[in-house]
Structure 1
Amino acid sequence: MLSVAAVVVAFVLLLILSSVKILREYQRAVVFLFGRFQAVKGPGIFILVPVIQQMVRIDLRTVVMAVPPQDVISRDNVSVKVNAVIYFRVIDPEKAVIQVENAHEATSQLAQTTLRSVLGRHELDEMLGARDKLNQDIQLILDQHTDAWGIKVANVEIKQVDLDEGMIRAIAKQAEAERQRRAKVINAEGELQASEKLMQAAQTLMQQPQSIQLRYLQTLVEVAGDRTSTVVFPLPLDLIEPLLAKARPRE
C-alpha cells in the first residue's frame, strides 16, 4: 500500500511540476485549449493543464536575417548580384502562430522576392548611389505584407552589389571620362574669367592714358632685366601716327 501511495504522490508531483511553465521577459506562450486558441501568456510563471492545454513558445527579440545573394537585372539591363540583411521581430504572437506555418521562413522568402522586384525597377546608378531610398522602399513593402503574420520589419540594409569584370571596367572608363569632362569645363571657365579680367584692365587703361605710359615703362624695365642680347623698344602709337600720316601719298 505504501509503495502504491508513493507512486501516486510522485505522479501527482510530476504532473504539477510539468504543469508549471516559466517564460522569460522576451518570451510569450500561445495557449490552445482542446486545439482552439485561448490566450497569450507570459512572461513569468503560469499553470498549463497537461493534455487539455498546449502551448507554442514565441521569441519576441529582434531577428537578424541575411538574405542570400539574388540575381537582379536592373532597368538598364545590367545583371548584378545583390545581398541584404533584414531586421524584424514578432509583435503579435497569436498571428505569428496561427496565420503562418513558419514565420521566419516566410519572411525570408518574401524578402528575397521583394529584393529582386524592387531593385529590378531601378537603374544601376540608383542601386549604387541611392541605397537609403531603396532600403526604405523594400522595408515598407515587407512591413505591409508581414503585418498579417504579426511581424514588424524594422529595417532593411542592402549589403553589397556585385558586378562582373566587364561592367567594372566600363564604370571605370565612364568615371575617367567624367573627370576629364570636368577638368575641361573648369579650364574653360578659368579662360573665360581671365579674358573678362583682361578686357576690364584694357578698358581701364584706355580711360587713363597716363596708365598706358606707366605700363610701357614697366614693360621696358622687365625686358631689360632679362638675360638676353636683344632689347625691344615698343613705341606708342600716338608718336608714330603723325609720321605715318605725313608719309601717306595725297590723293
Structure 2
Amino acid sequence: MDAEQLKAVFEQQASRYDQQWLRLAPLQSALFFLAEQCLLQLPEQAHLLCVGVGTGEELLYLAQRFPLWRFTAVEPAAAMLECCRQKAQAAGVLQRCELVLGYLQDLPVSACFDGATAFLVSHFLTERQQRLAFFQQIASRLKPGAVLLNADLACAEQEVQWQAQLSFWQQLMTGQPPDAEKSALWMQSYRHDVEVSEPSELLSLLQQAGFAEVRPVFQAGLLHAWCASRAE
C-alpha cells in the first residue's frame, strides 16, 4: 500500500483501533514500561517526538510518568490524531502537546528533541531506502545523544521459523488456534503489506541512519523493540 492508501485504512480503523489491540494490552504495557526505563536519562523538562502516534497510547503513558515533559506528536490520519487529542484532553495533558497532522517531513529540520518514539510505524515502509530515510529524518530532528525507542514487527527469514512465528502471532492477535485457510491469508498480508525484516536488518538500518549504541530491549512474538542514541 502507498502512503495515501495506508492513511485511508487508519482513518477507517480509528474508532475501533484500541479495541482491536486490546488483546495485546499486556504486551503494550510491558513495552511502555521498558520505554519509560530507557528514557529515564532524559532531562526533567524533556521534549519528546512521537512519530506515527496513532491514538496516543504511548504519549499518554509517558505524559503521566513525566509531568514536566512536552510532546510533539506526528500522525497522518486525522481520525487517529483526533482520538489522541481527545484522550490527551481528558487526561489533562493536552497543554503539553503539539499535535501535527502529517508526516515527519512536515516538521522543521532542527535538532531540538531530547528523545523520540516510533512504535509500529517503519514496517509499513516496504522499500529499504524509504525505511532508511524514515530513520534518518528522525535522527536529523534529535539532539546529539538523544534517545530513540523504536518498535516494529520482525522475524528471522528462515521459512519454517517465519511460518511458526506468524502462526503464533495470529493466535496472539485473535485468541484462536490458526487454521490453514486463515493462515494463508495472514501470510499473504504480512508478505506484501508490511516489511517484516530480520532483527539484524533493523539494527543495521538504525546504525546507518545515524544512531549508536543500538540494543534490543524487548521481544514478544513478532514485536521487537530497540533503544538507540543519536550519534554525537
Which TM-score bucket, shorter chain as reference? under 0.3
Structure number, greater radius of gyration: 1
Normalising by structure 1, what TM-score?
0.17
Higher relative contact order (CA 8 A, sep 6+): 2
